[in-house]
A and B are shown apart, each in its own frame.
Chain A
Amino acid sequence: MLTNLLAALCVIFVVLLIPIIDGFERRIRARIQSRIGPPLKQTYYDLVKLFRKELLIPNTASRLFILAPFISISTSITALAIIPYTLNNSIGFEGDLILIVYLMIFASIATLLGGLASGNPFAEVSSSRELTLVMASELFLGLTIATLAVKYGSLSLVKISTAIVVSPSVILAYMALAYYAFIKSSRTPYDIAEAEPEIASGYAIEFSGPLLAITILSNLMKRFIASSLFTVISLGPLIALLTMPIANDVLRISVNAMLTILLSIATYLVLGSISTTYGRYRVRHAVEAVKKCSIMPLISLMLALLGL
C-alpha cells in the first residue's frame, strides 16, 4: 500500500517538476550559445501565460483537434505512472515494457492527430515526417528490447532494472537506448516534425492558448519518459545495488526513487546539451541516420542470441 502511494507520489512530483527541468535545459543551451538565457522558471511562466490566452480554432478543424492534446497527455502521464522509479518489485507486471513503448507511440500519434485535425497542410507535412521517424526508430527500439528480453529473460521493467547482467550485448543495448532517448526527444537534429523555419511548427501550427500549453507539456513529458526509460533500465541495476544495504524498505525505495529521478534529470540535461551542437537533419538524412544506427541494436541482438 505504502509502496503504491510512493509510486503515485513519484508521478505527481515528476509531472510538476518537468517544466523546471526544461528551464535548466534552456539555461544550459543558452550558456553554450554564449547567451544568458531565460530564468529557470520560464517554462512555468510560459505555460501559465498560455492557459490564460484565447483559444483560436480554425474553421476547418474537427472536435478531435481539441481532444487530441488531452489524449496525448493522458497517455504520457500513464506511461510515467508505469515507469518504476522506486525500483520496487511489487509494482509492474510482465510485459509492461511493451506497454510503455506502445503508450509512447500513442502519445506521439495523438499529438499528430490533433495537428492533422486542424486542417492545415503544414500539419500534414509535419505528421508525415514525424511518423516516418517513428517508424524508423521503432525498428531500432524493437531490436533493443529483444536484446533485453533475451538477456534478462523477462519483459518486466522492474525485473530488468533490478537484475544485474553485464555482457557486451547488454552494454550495447544500453547505448542503443541512450540514442533512442535522443531520437525520441524531438530535439535538434531530430526535431523535423516541428521545424520552425521550414514548416512553421508543423503540427503545432494551429494550436493556441490552453491546447498549446498541453501540447508543449506533453512533448516535454515524452522527452522525460524517454530519458527515464534509459536511466531505469541502464542505471537502475547500479542504483539497486547501491541501496541494497539499506534495511528499511520504505527508506530504500524512497532513496531509489530520488536517485532514479535525479539520474533521469541528468540524462535529460546531457542529451539536451548534446543537441545544442547539432544542426537539424533533412528528413531523408534523419531516416538514413536512424537506419544506419540500427546496426548497433542489431549487433547487440546477435551477440545476445549467441550468448554473449
Chain B
Amino acid sequence: MHQLISSFEGLQGKVKGINYLNDGVVLVDTTPNSLFDVVNFITRELKGIFTVIIGVDAREIDGSFHNIYVFSLDELKKYVLVRVMLEGSDPKVPSITPLIKGADWSEREIRDLLGIKFINHPDPRKLIVPESWHDGVFPLRKEVSYKLRAHGPYEPYQPRRSEDVIALPYGPYHPLLHEPEYFELHVKGETVIDIEYRGFHVHRGIEKLGEARLTINQIPFVAERICGICGYVHSVCYCQVIEGAAGIEVPERALYIRSLILEIERIHSHLLWLGVACHVLGFDTGFMHAWRIREPVMHLAELLTGNRKTYGINLVGGVRRDLKEEHIDKVIKVLNEVKEGYTKFINYLTGVREVIKRLEGSGLLPRTEAISYGVVGPVARASALKRDVRVDHPYAAYKDVYFKVPVYNDCDNMARLMVRVEEVFESIDIIKQLLDKLPKGPILAENVEVAEYREGFSAVEAPRGEDVHYVMTGKYSRVYRWKVRAPSYSNIPALKVMLHECPLSDAPLTIASIDPCFSCTDRLIVVDVNTGKRFKVPMRALAKGWRP
C-alpha cells in the first residue's frame, strides 16, 4: 500500500490528498484541472483499467458535487478512487471520454441524473432519462423527490447514422431479447457495419429509492431484485460495502455461506446462458438440454436458501439462514451428477459443426479495445485480459480456496463460450472446497452499528463480470448515496467494436455472448412515455388484472 501511495509522489502538485477507504481501496483527491494528468498517470504508469464514474450530490455535506473516478489495478490488487469536488452551483468538469472510451456512459448518466456538465463530451444525448423528461430536472439531486415525474417537451431520440445506411431495428420488443433494449443495426448486405444503441427502458429508480425510502438493512433485499439472474451478487456486494465502511467483522461461516451461494448462482447463470446461446444459434436441442441440466442446481438453491432465485438470506453483518449438515452431502451428490451431465453436454456441443463454425471468428474484441472500454468478466477473459475480482480483490471466502481463472486469447464468441464453460467446472470445484473447509460458528455479526457519512466501496465477481457498489452512509440509519455499477454496463458499449463487420446472422449471437443483463444495467425511474400519464394503481386492481 505504501508503495502505491509513494508512487503518487510524482504528481505532487496535482494531488490534494490520499487515504485509504479500506484495505484495498485508495481514495485520491484532486482538482478538475489536474484530472487529466492523474488519469493518464493511473492508466499508463499504474496500468489501471477504468471501472466507473460515481457522481454524488454532496452539497448537504460540503456544498459540492463529488465525481469519483474508479480504476482497478489488477496486478497490485487495489482500487484507486480519484475524487474531484465540483462547486455546487455550476458543476463542470472536463470529460475523459476522449481518453477512455468506457467513460462515455458514466459521464452521460451523471449529466442526466445530477446535471454535471462534462466539457468536450463527444455525445451529449440523453442516456438514462426518457425523451419526454424535462431537461432541467435532475432526479438524483437531493431536492428532487423520488415521486416526481417531470414532463418536458418531447424530443425524439436522434440516432446517429450516416446518410444512406440501411438500419435494421432490433428491439425493443424482439423474439430474441429477454429484456427491452433497442439496437439499430446498420447493415450492408449481410454484414453489420455499425450499431446504434438506446437502452434504459426498464430503469426503475433503485438508487434513488435506496436513498429516499429504504433503511440500510432493507437495501440488501431490494438490491437482490436488481437482477433476475444474478441478484445475489448485488446483495453481497452491498453488504460488503457497508461492512467495510462501518468496520463490521463478519463471521467466517457467513463468508463461506455467501461464497457458496455465489458459486451456485454462477453455475445456474452460466447454464442459462448456454441454453440461450444455443437458442440464438437455432440449436434448440442444446437449449433444452442445457436447461435440463440446470434444473437440479435450482433445486439445490431452493434446498439451501428456501428460494430458487432471489434468496433473501443476506443481511448487513452476515447471513440469515444456516447450512444444515444433512444438506452438505446432498449438495455434493447433486453437483457430481450435474458435472457428469454437463461434461457430456459440453462434449456433444463442441462437436456440432454448425455451432463451432458460427462461433469462431465472430464478434471480435481486440485486447486494446477491451482495455479502453474497461470490459469485465468472461468478455474480458476471452480477450486475453486476466481479470477476476475473486483473485484481484479477494472478498468473502475466496482467499481460502484455490481455483483457476480461464483466460483465452481468441477474443471471439467461441472464446467467451469456452470461458464460461470452464468457469462452471471451476465453480463446482470451489463449492466442494468450501464445503470441505466450512468452519463452525455464528452466521451473523452481533450489534451492528453504522456511523454516518462513511464511504465504502466493494466489488464482487458476478457471473457476468465485476459488479461494483459504492455507498456513502447517511443519517438515521440510511444511505446518503448508493451507486451500483453492474457488469453489463461496461460490456454493452464494447458491442460497437464487436459488431463491426459482423455478419448479420451473428449479430444476435454476439449480443448474447456478452450475456447482457439489462435489468442490472437499467436502474432508475420509469415514466410512461406513451401517454405521459402517471398512474396510481392499487394492489388490488393489479391482482385482478388491471391493464393501462
- Is A in direct contact with B (CB under 8 Å) within the complex? yes
Q: Point out residues on A near B: beta carbons under 8 Å.
A: 29, 32-35, 121-122, 125, 188-189, 191-192, 195-201, 276-285
Contact at A201–B283, with CB atoms within 8 Å? no
Chain A residue, CB-CB nearest to B512: A197
Q: A122-B168, A125-B504 known; A278 and B176 CB under 8 Å? A: no
Q: Does B322 contact A (CB under 8 A)?
A: no
Contact at A198–B508, with CB atoms within 8 Å? yes
Q: A33-B284, A34-B289 known; A197 and B279 CB under 8 Å? A: yes
Q: Does B126 contact A (CB under 8 A)?
A: no
Q: Which residues of A contact B166 (CB under 8 A)?
A: 121
3 tightest CB-CB pairs across the interface, nearest first? Answer: A280-B282, A279-B283, A33-B288
Q: Which residues 447-486 in B have Cβ within 8 Å of A in the complex?
A: none
State in angstroms the CA–CA spacing of A29 and B284 once bound together: 10
Contact at A195–B174, with CB atoms within 8 Å? no
Q: Annotate B321-362 by CB proximity to A: 1 below 8 A, 0 otherwise.
A: 000000000000000000000000000000010110110000
Most buried by A among B279, B505, B508: B505
Q: Does B190 contact A (CB under 8 A)?
A: yes
Most buried by A among B282, B287, B289, B354: B282
Instruction: State the Cβ distance, B329 to closest chain A Cβ, in Å.
Output: 27
Q: Which residues of A contact B283 (CB under 8 A)?
A: 188, 278-280
Q: A198-B176, A279-B286 known; A125 and B505 CB under 8 Å? A: no
State in angstroms the CA–CA spacing of A32 and B168 once bound together: 35
Q: Which residues of B contact A32 (CB under 8 A)?
A: 285
State in angstroms the CA–CA spacing of A282 and B288 once bound together: 21
Contact at A198–B289, with CB atoms within 8 Å? no
Q: Which residues of B contact A282 (CB under 8 A)?
A: 357-358, 503, 505-506
Contact at A121–B354, with CB atoms within 8 Å? no
Contact at A278–B352, with CB atoms within 8 Å? yes
Instruction: State the Cβ distance, A304 to closest chain B Cβ, in Å.
Output: 31
Q: Point out residues on B near A: beta carbons under 8 Å.
A: 166, 168, 174-176, 190, 278-289, 292, 352, 354-355, 357-358, 503-508
Contact at B354–A280, with CB atoms within 8 Å? yes
Q: What are some 14 contacts across the A-B interface (CB < 8 A)?
A: A122-B168, A125-B504, A189-B282, A197-B280, A198-B280, A198-B504, A276-B285, A279-B278, A280-B281, A280-B505, A281-B358, A283-B190, A285-B354, A285-B358
Instruction: State the Cβ distance, B180 to closest chain A Cβ, in Å.
Output: 14
Q: A284-B503, A285-B357 known; A279 and B352 CB under 8 Å? A: yes
Q: Which residues of B contact A198 (CB under 8 A)?
A: 176, 280, 504-505, 507-508
State in angstroms the CA–CA spacing of A121 and B165 once bound together: 13
Contact at B175–A201, with CB atoms within 8 Å? yes
Q: Which residues of A contact B288 (CB under 8 A)?
A: 33-35
| Contact for A283 among B279, B354, B505, CB less than 8 A | B505
Q: Which residues of B contact A201 (CB under 8 A)?
A: 175
Most buried by A among B278, B285, B506: B285
Instruction: State the Cβ distance, A275 to closest chain B Cβ, in Å.
Output: 10
Contact at B285–A277, with CB atoms within 8 Å? yes
Contact at B278–A34, with CB atoms within 8 Å? no
Most buried by B among A200, A201, A276: A200
| Contact for B282 among A33, A188, A283, CB less than 8 A | A188
Most buried by B among A121, A196, A198: A198
Chain B residue, CB-CB nearest to A205: B175
State in angstroms the CA–CA spacing of A34 and B294 once bound together: 13
Instruction: State the Cβ distance, A204 to closest chain B Cβ, in Å.
Output: 12
Contact at B358–A279, with CB atoms within 8 Å? yes
Q: Which residues of A contact B289 (CB under 8 A)?
A: 33-34
Q: A32-B285, A33-B288, A279-B278 known; A197 and B503 CB under 8 Å? A: no
Contact at A279–B505, with CB atoms within 8 Å? no
Instruction: State the Cβ distance, B513 to closest chain A Cβ, in Å.
Output: 13
Contact at A284–B354, with CB atoms within 8 Å? no
Q: Which residues of B contact A192 (CB under 8 A)?
A: 505
Q: Which residues of B contact A199 (CB under 8 A)?
A: 504
Contact at A197–B175, with CB atoms within 8 Å? yes
State in angstroms the CA–CA spacing of A276 and B278 once bound together: 12
Instruction: State the Cβ distance, B441 to closest chain A Cβ, in Å.
Output: 42
Contact at B280–A278, with CB atoms within 8 Å? no
| Contact for B505 among A195, A196, A277, CB less than 8 A | A195
Most buried by A among B190, B278, B355: B190
Contact at B190–A191, with CB atoms within 8 Å? no
Q: A35-B288, A195-B282 known; A125 and B354 CB under 8 Å? A: no
Q: Which residues of A contact B190 (CB under 8 A)?
A: 283-284
Instruction: State the Cβ distance, B341 to closest chain A Cβ, in Å.
Output: 10
State in angstroms the CA–CA spacing of A279 and B355 once bound together: 6
- Known contacts A33-B284, A276-B284; 15 further A-B pairs (Cβ under 8 A): A33-B285, A188-B282, A196-B176, A197-B282, A198-B507, A201-B175, A276-B285, A277-B285, A279-B281, A279-B282, A279-B286, A282-B358, A283-B503, A284-B503, A285-B357
